Amino acid sequence: MQDRLRWRIGAAVLLCTWGALAVVLVFGTAGTGGTGGTGKSGIGAVVGVAGLVAGAVGLLAAWRIARPVEEAAAEAARLAAGEGGLRLPSAPIRELSELNEALNELARQLEARHGDVARQRTEQDAILASMTEGVLAVDTAGRVLTLNPAAARIFGMTGVPYQGRALTDVVRNPDLLRFVERIDKEGAPAETQVTLGSGARARHLRVGGTRLADRGGRRLGTVVVLSDITRIRELENVRRDFVANVSHELKTPVTAIKGAADTLLEGAGDDPPARERFLAIIGRQSERLAALISDTLSLARIEQQVDTGAATHLGEGPVAQVLAAAETACEPQALAREVRVEVDCPADLTAPMDPPLLEQAIINLLQNAIQYSPEGGVVTLHGVAKGGECVIEVIDRGRGIEPEHLPRLFERFYRVDPARSRELGGTGLGLAIVKHICLAHGGRASVESTPGLGSTFRIHLPVA
């Protein structure tokens, strides 16, 4: 095309030149009239030379005109293709120079707009990627437009292409699909809650949606925001269970105290043996009530420290001293049940700890071990450095615990044998307190047990 443009301009100039010469030749010949053949030959030669010169000049002029036009056309094509950084030089012809400057200005404006669009897209992607809520956008045909990383994790689409896929290929939950369809039809913002999956792997979502439209109000689709409230639901269930369990645990001693008091008021106080029996009931149940309240408050305080990140003052200290203090605190109980407590811990074993708090956890484990050991049995309190941790073990040789109970053993108010636990004065909160004390130390609690052979409870503390 470029060569044709050059030759067409050159040919036009050449034809015009030859036409002008022909006119001159005709009029010149008519004016001389009787000129002979020699004169005509001279004129012909002159005309031929002039024609060649004029043709060369025409070709050169055509080249100078066509080159800037071709460069401008190529620049426009590159701009249309989205290329940047292109600039046209000034042309020798004023009109072409103005055209080039206009194209250069257009290129600058397009580059600025492309930069703005790219920056806005980057900012939008960064915002969507940093959101903890899932964002899902679909067009009017039900095809996925946007799925941020949080939504991709919710739907199990991480690393899977989603752009342009049907919503039913990404979302398999019928309640959520109906919600998106309702938003698309009605257009009004709405909220709902849906559950993905079932059982222990169920995820609870709070879903808000609205119609997606451009600035002119033209409907583009639907956008949905998904908030994972599984943890909130779990905490609500824990709170509900905790309130129910506390109410039940408080009701038992309060009922016993009230019954004994009413019996005394009705005349049993006049009978010394009966009076002593009912007063003993009141005293025993009062102690149980005080222990329950004390454990509840302790658990609440430790949980608050863990949940809010409140500082637990940990300092490097010897583990053997804490084990010895716990053994001393439990000595009366051990003597009463004729259980021997053996302490085995290296004197140089240290760990970051809050000594009173850690001692409380060990006392809770040691009291349980003594209570559930047979009379004349042995309980071992052992401290050792193992696998980058300081591990404190409380080992009893009691009747052990069935495997199905082990996963829930550190839950509040969970009892393997509720009747025997209450008979022994347990509140059902001791192991929950141990668990949260471990968490406050940045560690964990674990248990191993074999029915008929005994149990081993462990406190794992990180070593600095």
The whole-model pTM stands at: 0.54
Architecture of the domain whose range is 131-228: 2-Layer Sandwich (3.30)
Task: Report whether pLDDT(34) > 60.
Answer: no
| Residue scoring higher pLDDT (62 or 432) | 432
| Residue scoring higher pLDDT (1 or 377) | 377
DSSP string, 54-103: HHHHHHHHHHHHHHHHHHHHHHHHHHHTT--S--PPPPSSHHHHHHHHHH
How far is CA 329 from its chain centroid?
46
* φ/ψ (deg, to 5) at 342: -105, 125
In the CATH hierarchy, which fold is given to the domain comprising 232-310? Helix Hairpins (1.10.287)
DSSP state of 438: H
Amino acid 366: pLDDT: 93
Q: How confident is the model at residue 4 (pLDDT cuts 50, 70, 90)?
A: very low
Pick one of 3.40.350.10, 3.20.20.80, 3.30.450.40, 3.30.565.10 as the CATH number of 312-464: 3.30.565.10
CB contact at 8 A, 402 and 409: no
Amino acid 94: pLDDT: 65
Q: Could you give the CA distance from residue 89 to residue 67 in angstroms, rounded to a whole number?
A: 12
Q: Which of 75, 58, 55 is nearest to 9 (CA)?
A: 58
Q: Could you give the CA distance from residue 307 to residue 115 in angstroms, rounded to a whole number?
A: 45
Amino acid 92: pLDDT: 63
Q: How confident is the model at residue 26 (pLDDT cuts 50, 70, 90)?
A: very low
Amino acid 5: pLDDT: 43
Q: Could you give the CA distance from residue 22 to residue 17 in angstroms, rounded to a whole number?
A: 9
Give the residue carrying structure tokens 């409907």: 219
Amino acid 357: pLDDT: 87
Tokens of 408: 């829930």
Tokens of 357: 């708090």
Q: Which of 411, 425, 335, 415 is nearest to 376 (CA)?
A: 335
**For range 107-114, the mean pLDDT:** 78
**For range 202-217, the mean pLDDT:** 88
Amino acid 379: pLDDT: 94
Task: Report whether pLDDT(3) > 60.
Answer: no
DSSP state of 404: G
- Residue spans of the domains in the chain: they are 2-111, 131-228, 232-310, 312-464
Pairing mode of beta strands 389-395, 454-462: antiparallel
Buried b / exposed e along 282-321 (16+ C-beta atoms within 10 A): beebeebbebbeebbebbeebbebbeeeeebebeeebbbe
Amino acid 456: pLDDT: 94
Instruction: Give SS3 for 347.
Output: coil
Residue type, 60: L
* φ/ψ (deg, to 5) at 76: -65, -40
Q: Could you give the CA distance from residue 127 to residue 148 in angstroms, rounded to a whole number?
A: 9
Task: Report whether pLDDT(377) > 80.
Answer: yes
Q: Could you give the CA distance from residue 28 to residue 35 in angstroms, rounded to a whole number?
A: 11
| Residue scoring higher pLDDT (333 or 288) | 333
